[in-house]
Amino acid sequence: MSSDHEVDQLLFFVNGKKIVEKNADPEMTLLTYIRRKLGLTGTKLGCAEGGCGACTVMVSRYQQQGLIHYSVNACLAPLCSLHLSAVTTVEGIGSMAHKLHPVQERIAKAHGSQCGFCTPGIVMSMYALLRNKPQPTMADLEEAFQGNLCRCTGYRPILEGFKTFTKEGGCCGGRGRDNGCCMTNGSATDGTLTNGSEADRLSEGQDPSSQHAPLFNMAEFMPFDPTQEVIFPPQLMSLCRVPCGSLRFRGERVVWLQPSRLEELLVLKSKHPEAKLVVGNTEVGIEMKFKNLLYPVILAPAFIPELHNVQHTDRGVVFGAACSLSLLARVLEEEVVRLPPQQTQVFHAVLAQLRWFAGLQIRNVAAIGGNIMTASPISDLNPVFMAAGCKLTLMDKDGSRVVQMDDSFFPGYRKTVVRPEEILLSIEIPYSTKSQYFSAFKQSPRREDDISIVTTAMSVTFIAGTTIVKDLKLSYGGMAPTTVLAKKTADTLLGRQWGEELLQDACSSLAEEMTLHPSAPGGMVTYRRTLTLSLFYKFYLTVLQKLAEEGVCVEGVKADCLSATEIYHAETPSSLQVYQAVPEGQSEEDVVGRPMMHLSALKQATGEAVYCDDIPLYENELYLALVTSTRAHAHILSIDVSEAEKMAGVATCVFAEDIPGSNMTGPVFHDETVLADRMVVCVGQIIGAVVADTQAHAQRAAKAVKITYQDLQPVIVTIQDAIATQSFFQPIRTIERGDLEAGFKQADHILEGEMHIGGQEHFYLETHVTVAIPRGEDGEMELFCSTQSTSKTQSLVAMALGVPDNRVVVRVKRMGGGFGGKESRSTLLSTVVAVAAQKLKRPVRCMLDRDEDMLVSGGRHPFYAKYKVGFMNSGKVVSLDVTYYSNAGNSMDLSLSIMERALFHMENSYSIPNIRGRGFLCKTHLPSNTAFRGFGGPQGMMVAESWMSDVALSLGMPAEEVRKINLYVQGERTPYNQILDQLTLERCWAECLSRSNYQERREAVELYNRQNRWTKRGLSIIPTKFGISFTAFFLNQAGALVHIYTDGSVLLTHGGTEMGQGLHTKMIQVASRVLGVSCSKIHITETSTNTVPNTSPTAASVSSDLNGAAVQNACEILLKRLEPYKTKKPKGSWEEWVKAAYFDRVSLSANGFYKTPDLCYDFHTNSGRPFNYFSYGVACSEVEVDCLTGSHKNLHTTIVMDVGRSLNPAIDIGQVEGAFMQGLGLFTLEELRYSPQGVLLTRGPGMYKIPAFGDIPGQLSVSLLRDAPNDKAIFASKAVGEPPLFLAASVFYAIKDAVGVARAESGLSGPFRLDSPATTERVRNACQDQFTKLCPPAQPGTFTPWSVQV
């Protein structure tokens, strides 16, 4: 190792190119290095905590056992850890200019890339899998993607594309056919993708005569040849064969020491006892970034053989502490195959926990030792190690000692008995014995890649040949500040017979021993306590079953309880997509109605698609970091920047007094500040910013800004707080039709109910980002933004700068997702960045980290509703009074329009003669909530389905019958007096019942429920009716600009922005049809305010309708100008006509414009026509609920969606599936949790869970309704972005159906409240039984909860 002041050179390869870094900074990640130093921007930053997979790359190393390849999160991998490694990024495997890799081609052509921001990471996860296993199984595929998230596609097309690499690949789902594969014999020509045989398709209720082309053709894929992959650099192989010496790297604040021998490591640990040992950096990296901790010395034991050894002894297997979790799994899997079952029970338990432990990218680098030493109270593995009595070898420079992992190993929160100068050398995982039974369980909000709520390992040993307990260990995580043993309970059960009496006593004892304070961190106290009993019961049944199988005990598990012992096995998803073929005789050149690939998909798959932060750094560019409020409601007494300004690289600080124009801002009402001035009204409000030469310097300095506050009262956080203090924005909206009181008098029954619907984080993979470039004269400013609203960004930035709008140009090439979150809140960042750039007269950039983005930008509005419904014995609803309260946050933003849309959708698809809806906007001290796909509609409709469910439950009628008799029919009026014409609801309903085999499915569900006590299945069919138009009527307009150049190429610009929804692709399809030229001749560069002015936001699902009509208008103008030349030379080419017009001095540029006709509505008179038309859909879903844990499996979903005559079936089906999965998150999984002080606790993918690959329904069928042209939109199409989202409510109400059956078995009947989302906690607590009775909740008001329902 070099002397204390010298540093070594870091040598590694990237995409085959040798990199020698002389100044490697221990604090720099691989991601920052490859993006900023090497300019390889294909690899994306999505979360900076290893939770989304957008930054996945492949690392290859040459080791004793040979060459190994593995996927890693570049956002966590320290640059210094890559010495003598080869890194492969998405750019290194294929490109548009040279040759695509089959992985890149297949994800694109299978329509698996929408916004494309997650695509490079998913491509690299697949690529790494293929480097290790050229023909993987579907199970391998599913494991490879556990660490990758996608917010757009709904995952299905990604799996379909990559399934073609697998053993099961091909269209017959691996089942094979007598006459070969269905793709080659032409029977899969019914508009389906690759799954399902002819018989399967007919059983789906499909017309066998409907023969259309599939969404993609596998025959077009280039073959995959594993022998043609990039080789490992020969020079690196030679270097790896020479023993590596010690290394030292020094940064501004941290020294990285990488010893090559164990003795050297022990001396260094003695010298630096506070130093952290870093292997995968999956914990220390998070602590340094998010907890603001600094470790000046890092010890990296990567090259020390003793820490990586695996030894087999007569007692078990000894793993070196630096062995990765992936290696641990591989070794134990081999042992399970090799050894008799009685010896491998502990190994099975470890593997069961590893199966759901983080993502593969994390498991590939995270060390066993790190998992133990982190001492997390919710560790998945520590309870297993504790219950198994694993032995740990600890070592310092003076010697070693062995300690057993028991309840004394963790003396306190995040503490172990390991002394500061010691290291953990190894862990011995023991074999199990003949009479020992061992199981481990983990319960988390989401099955894949999620942290535990409660985790447990349980071991029982019996006196040989009996069922008398000789030894019992019950170890729990998530029930105390440390991993604990339930010693008292275990001791009382020794010598007892394993039977019903023992179970009762064990549960009573555990309920007393495993207590939690009602205010315990993490919340969910009742649920966690119940889980300790439920999981013990699962263990009890599992052991009983094994004892019966071995003939030790006579009575086994009762048949109806067996399902409680089953281990979850994911079924490979199967799917069906049905759409209508283009009419016979449509020209091959006319691509409208054909499943055309997203035009950027190939670029996205190669990493060549440019997003805002991929723009190369400007000369002299600076980076901005935000300073945000830590209080919800307070006066700012002082701001101290003295320490921040002294820090390295800092250029300036920006505060309210630096704003040259107006500090007031807001999309509709200017009721917010650009930068807080003297007062803050929410945690996360932007107070100021620090500008520095790098992101790291800016963020460090921002944390050094000291602000003193004087707290103010009241702090209003929840809707209930706002109601209590009457804190509302005005106006209060009402829609009323019919005679409410007469309706209630007429009703046979009246019931009242309430429901809370939680908010939702947008979780676009690309966070808010802006690059601002001052142009140096006349106050001109150019901004590159990730925004859905270029014109609003332009006007608000101009206002803050004090210049007219014409001095500001806003440019958007594409966004990595938007979903409404970039409609108005993107201006929060853009205005601040522009002010800083103006102040410094230098380019300034800022891309928010995921935790900042979630903190400052708001999300979907939480809603609370109270309703009173009157109905007849037949189930017909005759009267409804509903009141909605939304949590708007601290400013108005778009909350009024969102509430209006909720009221417009309060009846969903049901005809109710007497109805009143009122909407209150709650003003609270939270970040302002904003637009989100559905824009209030889903919340309005969700409440409608709640009272519909209550009506069915109270009458004891099947829910589908009650829904059916209340459905709208053609010609009826809505509550806002719009007459429904072209109503396809009845057709969608009938087709969904038929395709889902609803009646047979209902009978099968009822049979299953009679046969199973602890798992229940539920079934639900839900309709949707979604109004299409901006409810702010002036926004229903669009412009387009089309240039034809003299070579015949066409440049198209329109007012919409591309965020993955395929808008640009559809616009090119429209232009292609109107002009009669090939799509290859038409190009869209970007959306900008200097080409099409005064644009409406890309929102409300109307962008294809509005911009498509504007593009059509512009193209028709040009076509008219070209007509004389076409007439003159009818057999001429496009290029000849264009040249002739040019030489004749005819303008080849045209502006197009469109406004939606006949839209108006007046709330005071309840008259007008607020919507141009409606999109309809129906979904049927089946689920299976584990009543003991609250988990559920999505077994089946059938969707029938009316999208008119689809412009592009591939894109539209992608939108339906993507919206459905986002709705699935909203209604069953995603939960924003705030502290009583208004602090968002769920920031980032670690705490906030969106649906993952494993959440797709096992069977997913999507059918676009046939023969349903819509004469009110471009080429008879319909809007598709938002309407399908609500169909995921079918999963929620299927869960509620299953919970209702479970409650009935406990003697509870009738309507019950289930709030959204139906999380594992809510579902388990609703399934009341003997275990929940032992864990009653604390009385509200007697404690301060960890989190509150906002």
For 579, residues 6+ apart whose C-beta sits below 8 A from its C-beta are: 191, 212, 215, 595, 1206, 1209, 1212, 1213, 1263, 1264
940: closest CA among 905, 975, 966? Answer: 905
Exactly one of 852, 1184, 1282, 1321 is catalytic; which is it? 1282
Assign 233 to helix, strand or coil: coil
Strand partners, 736: 916
Sequential DSSP letters for 764-791: -SS--EEEEEE-SSTT-EEEEE--S-HH
The structure tokens listed for 670 are 């200017």
The structure tokens listed for 1244 are 């980032």
1282 noted as active-site residue: yes
> Going by DSSP bridges, is the β-strand pair 1037-1044/1149-1155 parallel, antiparallel, or unpaired?
antiparallel
Residue 1064 half-sphere exposure, CB side, CA atoms within 13 Å?
Answer: 23
Strand partners, 1167: 1162
Residue 1105 half-sphere exposure, CB side, CA atoms within 13 Å?
Answer: 32
CA distance 139 to 729: 52
The structure tokens listed for 1221 are 């999965």
CA distance 899 to 729: 11
CA distance 195 to 332: 34
E strand map for 872-925 = 877-889, 914-923
Assign 795 to helix, strand or coil: helix
1257: closest CA among 109, 117, 159, 118? Answer: 159
- What's 1173-1204 look like in SS3? EEEEEEEEEEEEEECCCCCEEEEEEEEEECCE
Radius of gyration of the chain (CA): 31
Verify cis geometry, omega within 30 degrees of 0, for the bond prior to 731.
yes
Q: What is the arrangement of strands in the sheet containing 316-320, beginning at the earlier edge strand?
A: 310-312, 316-320, 423-430, 391-396, 399-404
CA distance 335 to 1176: 55
Sequential DSSP letters for 1236-1300: TTS-B---STTTS----GGGS-SEEEEEEPSS---TTSGGGB---SSGGGGGGHHHHHHHHHHHH
What single DSSP character describes residue 1158? Answer: S
**Tokens 């030469």 correspond to what residue?**
693
Assign 850 to helix, strand or coil: helix
CA dist 1215 → 223, 352, 576, 1220 (Å): 29, 35, 15, 8
For 1123, residues 6+ apart whose C-beta sits below 8 A from its C-beta are: none
Strand partners, 863: 757, 886
CA distance 1321 to 783: 45
- What's 654-683 look like in SS3? ECHHHCCCCCEECCCCCCEECCCCCEECCC
Q: Is 817 left (phi over 0), alpha (psi -120 to 50) or beta?
A: left
CA distance 653 to 431: 61
CA distance 810 to 1095: 12
Pair 620, 843: CB distance under 8 Å: yes
Residues annotated catalytic, as ranges: 1282
